[in-house]
Amino acid sequence: MRLQVLIAGIGIALLVSSFIPPPGGMGVQGSIDYGSYMIRMYGLRGDARVDIELYEGLGISFYVLTTEDALLMLEERSIANTTPCFSLENTTEYSGIISIPSIGIYAFVVTTYYNTTSHFYVGINNVYPQMWLLIPGVILVAIGFILFTGTKLWHQLRELKTYSKEI
């Protein structure tokens, strides 16, 4: 019985965890001058919702890079030799879900190619529920329930057998 409760308990913990946001906010906000980059790195566990709004300026470019590409970009001071997971060139507004290839730390890079200062906001939020936690949680809760029910039925059948032998 302890095994069933343990399995179901782990499953419930995974289910609850699939809806909990990470601590602190994620996003990039501020001003950026021509030829410079603003970089923020965040750990992501799945797809992310991105909202971009340009307050002032002609447009910004937004990139999502792996850690390796971010280090390459910092070393070369250029995004040219990187392979972004996601990119938007010269945008003033965007709202959508971006696909994140795997769990890890990603760099969110903002730059402008116009000879002006741009003021912007980029909001980044995980998509909930996080399926990589939800699916195993549902499976473990189901296994725990099946084991619990099966054990109870097994004990009932054994008692019934014992009772019928006595009669």
pLDDT in tens, 58-114: 888 999 999 999 999 989 888 889 999 999 998 889 999 888 888 888 999 998 877
For helices 2-17 and 131-166, what crossing angle results, to 10°?
Answer: 160
pLDDT exceeds 80 at position 149: yes
pLDDT of residue 165: 67
pTM here is 0.68
Q: What is the pLDDT of residues 22-42, one digit of tens each?
A: 665 677 788 888 888 888 888
120 pLDDT above the threshold of 80: yes
pLDDT at 24: 59
More confident site: 167 or 119: 119
Which residues does 112 contact at the CB level (< 8 Å), separation at least 6?
32, 33, 34, 57, 58, 59, 60, 61, 118
